[in-house]
Amino acid sequence: MEKKIAVIRGDGIGPEIIGEAVAVLDAVAALYGHTFTYDEVIMGGEACNRWGDPLPPEMLQKCLDSDSVLLGAVGGPKWNALPAEKRPEKGLLRLRSGMEVFSNNRPAKIWPQLADASPLRPEIVARGIDFIIVRELTGGIYFGEHRTDHAGEIKAVDVMAYTESEIERIGRIGFETARKRDKRLCSVEKSNVLDCSRLWKAVMHRLAEEYPDVELTDMLVDNCAMQIVKDPAQFDVIVTENMFGDILSDEASMITGSIGMIPSSSLGEGTRGLYEPIHGSAPDIAGKDIANPTGAILAAAMMLRYSFDLEREASCIERAVSSVLDAGYRTADILPAGEAGASCKKAGCRDMGRLIIEHLTKE
Size, binding site for Mg ion by CB under 5 A? 1
- Smallest distance, Mg ion to C-beta of residue 258, A: 15
Give which of ligand IPM, Mg ion, none residue 89 binds (C-beta under 5 to 8 Å, depending on kind): ligand IPM
Least Å distance, CB 59 to Mg ion, is 22
Instruction: Write each residue from 189 to 228 as x if it is in contact with Mg ion (CB under 5 A), else as -, in one continuous string.
Output: ----------------------------------------
Residue 92's binding partner, choosing from ligand IPM, Mg ion, none, with beta-carbon cut-off 5 to 8 A by kind? ligand IPM
Task: Report the residue number, 89 or 176, with the smaller CB distance to ligand IPM.
Answer: 89
3 state SS for 52-107: CCCCCHHHHHHHHCCCEEEEEECCCHHHCCCCHHHCHHHHHHHHHHHCCCCEEEEE
Query: Cβ neighbours of residue 357 under 8 Å, at least 6 residues apart?
Result: 23, 24, 27, 320
**Which of 53, 89, 130, 176 is close enough to bind ligand IPM by CB under 6 A?**
89
**In angstroms, what is the minimal distance from the CB of 106 to ligand IPM?**
8
Shortest separation between residue 155's beta carbon and Mg ion, angstroms: 26
**Residue closest to ligand IPM, measured at CB:** 89
- Window contacting Mg ion (CB under 5 A); options: 51-59, 229-237, 241-249, 300-308: 241-249
Q: Which does 129 bind (CB under 5 to 8 A by kind): ligand IPM, Mg ion, none?
A: none
Q: Is 16 in the site for Mg ion (CB under 5 A)?
A: no
Q: How many residues bind ligand IPM (CB under 6 A)?
A: 5
Q: Which residue is nearest to Mg ion (CB)?
A: 246
3-state secondary structure string across the chain: CEEEEEEEEECCCHHHHHHHHHHHHHHHHHHHCCEEEEEECCCCHHHHHHHCCCCCHHHHHHHHCCCEEEEEECCCHHHCCCCHHHCHHHHHHHHHHHCCCCEEEEEEECCHHHHHHCCCCHHHHHCCCEEEEEEECCCHHHCCCEEEECCCCCEEEECCCCCHHHHHHHHHHHHHHHHCCCCEEEEEECCCCCHHHHHHHHHHHHHHCCCCCCEEEEEEHHHHHHHHHHCHHHCCEEEECHHHHHHHHHHHHHHCCCHHHCEEEEECCCCCEEEEECCCCCHHHCCCCCCCCHHHHHHHHHHHHHCCCCHHHHHHHHHHHHHHHHCCEECHHHCCCHHHHHCCEECCHHHHHHHHHHCCCCC
Least Å distance, CB 342 to ligand IPM, is 34
Options 48, 92, 261, 355; binder of ligand IPM; rule CB under 6 A:
92
| Under rule CB under 6 A, residue 218 binds ligand IPM | no
Which residue, 278 or 356, has its beta carbon nearer to ligand IPM?
278
Under the binding rule (CB under 6 A), the answer on residue 259 touching ligand IPM is: no
Contact call for residue 246 and Mg ion (CB under 5 A)? yes
Minimum CB distance to Mg ion smaller for 80 or for 343: 80
- The catalytic residues are 142, 190, 222, 246, 250
Q: Is 246 in the site for ligand IPM (CB under 6 A)?
A: yes
User: Contact positions toward ligand IPM, by CB under 6 A?
Assistant: 75, 89, 92, 246, 278
Positions in the binding site for Mg ion (CB under 5 A): 246
